[in-house]
Structure 1
Amino acid sequence: MHKPYKIPESVLVVIHTAELEVLLIERADKAGYWQSVTGSKDAEDEPLRQTAVREVFEETGICVAAEGGACAAQEGSVPAHHLRDWQLTNVYEIYPVWRHRYAPGVVKNTEHVFGLLVPRTMPITLSPREHVAHAWLPYREAADRCFSPSNAEAILQLPHYRTHCRN
């Protein structure tokens, strides 16, 4: 049975601390390819915020909790207001190595950028089929380590867009 094609609309979530440290994760399918959390919508009508919440949980184990939601009081969760849509969109050419995941003729992806403020002590649980390592780096170093130019540029924008929250 053929796996459904990926939707060419995705999120990029820059997970960061108040001190501008950025969480990067290394891809399991490409050694040395470091990135922020990314992922495509599961359905055309999936809200982008829902995509961001799902991908953050799937890739890092961090639960973005709604007020009184299922993971609101558990370790590894952050309040929903710590996730912010930066209102930045990137359109880029899909790397040839990953084009087979998309419908024939699809060569561009639209990426929506979010930021997520977490404490530096946040436990990280990687999905081993997707990522093999993680690192916390000062934002400029994190941008330098990213393989994706749009991811690096988003990280460099962190001082302007960073999430300011009290809780």
Structure 2
Amino acid sequence: MRSVLHWTWSSVASEARSFKIPESVLVVIHTPRREVLLIQRADAGDFWQSVTGSKDEPGEAFIDTAAREVFEETGIACGPGTPLHAGLRDWHLENIYDIYPQWLHRYPPGVVRNTEHLFGLCVPPGTPVILNPREHTAYRWLPWREAADACFSPSNAEAILLLPQFADGPF
């Protein structure tokens, strides 16, 4: 009996850990000339966006979430000890928005809003991009205003339009 209860509890705990945490980052990757990297989602047709992603665990620092997501989605290393780390900047802004209905199943029952923390990452022109094909199918660099117009998400477009206030990167 004890092993059955343990197994059942382990399954429940494992399932609970598979839900996304409703705290995420949005990272506007850009060059000093304000060219912005947009990536196309694999699961949503013409959905172009900046790098986004949720915390892996509640205690993960947002700067660590940002660096991890940038690397996972684009292959660009910007964590501590990398040359691009100085270009990763916390904009100290956040968006709170309703989660799109098609993605509510990824969150715990009853969670309908997400808090998104904004970052920018200044990279040199020509920085190589390696997409994770399970998440994204294409990328493009666009002038910042065009990038904002191309975004599916209004909060992403608004973040890109803030770029001139924050685009004083190291390159």
TM-score by length of 2: 0.89
2:96 partner letter: V
Q: Which has the higher helix share?
A: 2
Q: Is it true that 1:60 corresponds to 2:74 in the alignment?
A: yes
Paired residue for 1:47? 61
Q: 1:1-167, aligned counterparts within 5 Å?
A: 2=15, 4-66=18-80, 69=81, 72=82, 78-166=83-171
Q: Could you report, residue by residue, the CA deviation over 1:119-158 in whole angstroms, capped at 9, with x for unpaired residues?
A: 1200000000000000000000000000000000000000
Residue 7 of structure 1, CA deviation: 0.1
**Unaligned residue ranges in structure 2 (runs of 5+):** 1-10
Q: Secondary structure of the residue that 2:126 maps to in structure 1?
A: coil
Residue 81 of structure 1, CA deviation: 1.1
Residue 10 of structure 1, CA deviation: 0.1
Equivalent-residue separation in structure 1 for 2:106 and 2:169 (angstroms): 36
Identity of matched residues, %: 62
Give the count of matched residue pairs: 157
Residue 65 of structure 1, CA deviation: 4.3
Residue 161 of structure 1, CA deviation: 1.2
2:107 partner letter: Y
2:21 partner letter: I
TM-score by length of 1: 0.91
Aligned residues of 1:59 and 1:127 also touching (Cα < 8 A): yes
Equivalent-residue separation in structure 1 for 2:113 and 2:58 (angstroms): 16
2:28 partner letter: V
Residue 163 of structure 1, CA deviation: 3.4
Runs of 4+ more than 3 Å apart: none
**Unaligned residue ranges in structure 1 (runs of 5+):** 73-77
1:135 partner letter: R
Aligned residues of 1:84 and 1:163 also touching (Cα < 8 A): no
Decide which structure has the larger Cα Rg and report it.
2
Q: Secondary structure of the residue that 2:78 maps to in structure 1?
A: strand
Residue 164 of structure 1, CA deviation: 2.6
